[in-house]
C-alpha cells in the first residue's frame, strides 16, 4: 500500500427479508426441540444418579438478572453436595454488598 492508499471496510446494513427471519425462527424451534428430546435420556440418568447419591433435591433453582434488570428463574441439575452449614466466602455476598463502601 502506498502513502495515499486507505484501507476501507464496507458493511452492508440491510435488514433480512421477513421470510428469512421467519425461516430462521422456525429452524431455531425445530433444532431446539430435537436437541431437547435427544438429550432427555441423558438428563434423566443424571437426575436418577443425583437422587441416589444423597437423596437430596435434583433440581437447583436460582434467580438471575437478565437484560434490562428483569429477574428470571433458571433450573439446573444440582451438582454440589448439600451441607448444613452456611457457605463462607472471601468476597461480599449479595446481602453484604449494600454495606460495601
How high is the pLDDT of residue 101?
46
Q: How far apart are CA 35 and CA 41, in angstroms?
A: 11
Rg of the chain over all Cα atoms, to the nearest angstrom: 24
Residue (of 45, 101, 100) closest to 77 by Cα position:
45
The DSSP output letter for 38 is H
User: Considering the entire predicted model, what is its pTM?
Assistant: 0.55
How high is the pLDDT of residue 23?
96
Residue 87 banded pLDDT, cuts 50, 70, 90: low
How high is the pLDDT of residue 46?
93
**Better-scored residue on pLDDT, 58 or 8:** 58
Q: Over the stretch 1-55, which tens digit does the pLDDT of each residue have? A: 555 667 688 777 888 899 999 999 999 999 999 999 999 999 999 999 999 988 8
Amino acid at each position: 500500500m502506498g502513502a495515499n492508499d486507505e484501507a476501507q471496510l464496507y458493511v452492508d446494513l440491510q435488514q433480512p427479508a421477513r421470510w428469512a427471519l421467519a425461516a430462521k425462527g422456525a429452524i431455531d424451534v425445530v433444532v431446539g426441540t430435537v436437541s431437547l428430546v435427544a438429550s432427555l435420556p441423558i438428563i434423566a440418568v443424571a437426575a436418577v444418579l443425583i437422587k441416589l447419591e444423597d437423596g437430596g433435591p435434583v433440581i437447583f433453582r436460582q434467580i438471575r438478572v437478565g437484560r434490562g434488570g428483569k429477574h428470571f428463574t433458571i433450573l439446573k441439575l444440582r451438582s454440589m453436595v448439600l451441607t448444613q452449614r452456611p457457605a463462607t466466602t472471601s468476597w461480599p455476598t449479595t446481602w453484604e454488598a449494600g454495606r460495601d463502601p
